[in-house]
């Protein structure tokens, strides 16, 4: 081919190896028997805000045509009278790991588990579980007053509130991020239950499930938000919501989402494309 033929070839945009991310782990399960609300999955993000009131994470530099692991954490199961709610599973993108939300305390176990955000406690003397630095906040404590309320699960953006007389604690709110191009909340804590027929604890913004009064069924955390499950009152705690990984990169870049993962890539907008991965374990690569 002569030099004119070479010059007439279309130019290829250089690979942009900087990837913004949102990594949310699975939420914790709610407790039982005036059970606490499950803690939200830990949240790490490079856009708008990150969890636990921390400084924004740094974008990840990746290499062209190299595999990077992605894992979407499942939500934890709800507890029963003798067992706390189960802690959610971690979510991963390459070197970035967000910790599963803490399971909530139940009648015979009382205190919430620690996690990305801490699980709420059952009735007093239970105490809320601790959150993880730069991922989420602690769960609320249980009340020892007449007609006790359980603590709400911690959220990525706020602590779960304590239970009180005739009132279950509300789950802590999650964090709003605009990584998708619109502001969306993720990582809300689950609401605590309440003795008899008081006021249930509401789930936090970002997928937290509400707790329940006597005989009612608590709400699970919303799938792909990392929301904590609501606390139950002799019905069983609700399960936490699954996590999610969202990746944002220049619109000149193409992603390959490998086998074992469920995900989609958006059309280019504002100079970016986004991949939203909602389930599984596998690899992604960029070109």
Q: Specify whether the CB–CB gap between 256 and 217 falls below 8 A.
A: no
* Residue 15, pLDDT score: 59
Q: How far apart are CA 182 and CA 189, in angstroms?
A: 22
Taking residues 59-67, report their average pLDDT. 95
* Residue 7, pLDDT score: 34
For 85-111, write each residue's pLDDT tens digit: 999 999 999 999 999 999 999 999 999
Kindly report the number of other CB atoms within 10 A of residue 55's CB atom: 8
| Residue 259 pLDDT level (bands cut at 50, 70, 90) | very high
Helix or strand run (H / E) with residue 247: strand 244-250
Q: Specify whether the CB–CB gap between 112 and 36 falls below 8 A.
A: yes
Taking residues 246-261, report their average pLDDT. 96
* Residue 5, pLDDT score: 35
* Residue 4, pLDDT score: 35
| Residue 1 pLDDT level (bands cut at 50, 70, 90) | very low
For 163-181, write each residue's pLDDT tens digit: 999 999 999 999 999 999 9
* Residue 16, pLDDT score: 61
Q: Cα separations (Å) of 130 from 87, 111, 172?
A: 12, 10, 13
* Residue 3, pLDDT score: 35
| Residue 253 pLDDT level (bands cut at 50, 70, 90) | very high
Q: How far apart are CA 266 and CA 271, in angstroms?
A: 12
Q: Is the pLDDT of residue 146 over 50?
A: yes
Q: Specify whether the CB–CB gap between 192 and 159 falls below 8 A.
A: no
Rg (CA), the chain: 21
Q: Cα separations (Å) of 101 from 94, 98, 126, 131, 241?
A: 20, 9, 18, 8, 10
Say what the pTM is: 0.94
For 10-59, write each residue's pLDDT tens digit: 344 445 689 999 999 999 999 999 999 999 999 999 999 999 999 999 99
């Amino acid at each position: 081919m002569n030099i004119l033929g070479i010059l007439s070839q279309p130019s290829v945009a250089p690979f942009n190896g900087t990837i913004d991310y949102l990594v949310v782990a699975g939420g914790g399960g709610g407790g039982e028997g005036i059970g606490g609300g499950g803690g939200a999955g830990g949240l790490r993000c490079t856009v708008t805000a990150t969890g636990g009131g921390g400084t924004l994470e740094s974008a990840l530099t990746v290499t062209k045509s190299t595999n990077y692991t992605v894992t979407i954490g499942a939500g934890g199961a709800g507890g029963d009278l003798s067992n706390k709610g189960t802690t959610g599973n971690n979510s991963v993108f390459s070197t970035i790991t967000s910790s599963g939300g803490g399971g909530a305390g139940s009648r015979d176990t009382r205190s919430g588990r620690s996690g990305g955000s801490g699980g709420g406690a059952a009735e007093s003397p239970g105490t809320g579980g601790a959150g993880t630095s730069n991922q989420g906040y602690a769960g609320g404590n249980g009340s020892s007053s007449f007609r006790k309320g359980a603590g709400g699960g911690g959220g990525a953006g706020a602590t779960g509130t304590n239970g009180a007389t005739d009132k279950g604690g509300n789950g802590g709110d999650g964090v709003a991020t605009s990584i998708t191009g619109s502001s969306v909340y993720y990582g809300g804590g689950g609401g605590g239950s309440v003795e008899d027929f008081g006021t249930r604890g509401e789930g936090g913004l970002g997928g937290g499930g509400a707790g329940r009064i006597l005989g009612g069924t608590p709400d699970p955390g919303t799938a792909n938000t990392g929301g904590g499950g609501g606390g139950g009152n002799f019905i069983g705690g609700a399960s936490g919501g699954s996590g999610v990984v969202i990746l944002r990169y220049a619109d000149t870049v193409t992603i390959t989402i490998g086998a074992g993962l469920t995900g989609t890539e958006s059309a280019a907008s504002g100079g970016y494309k986004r991949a939203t991965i909602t389930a599984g374990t596998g690899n992604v690569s960029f070109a």
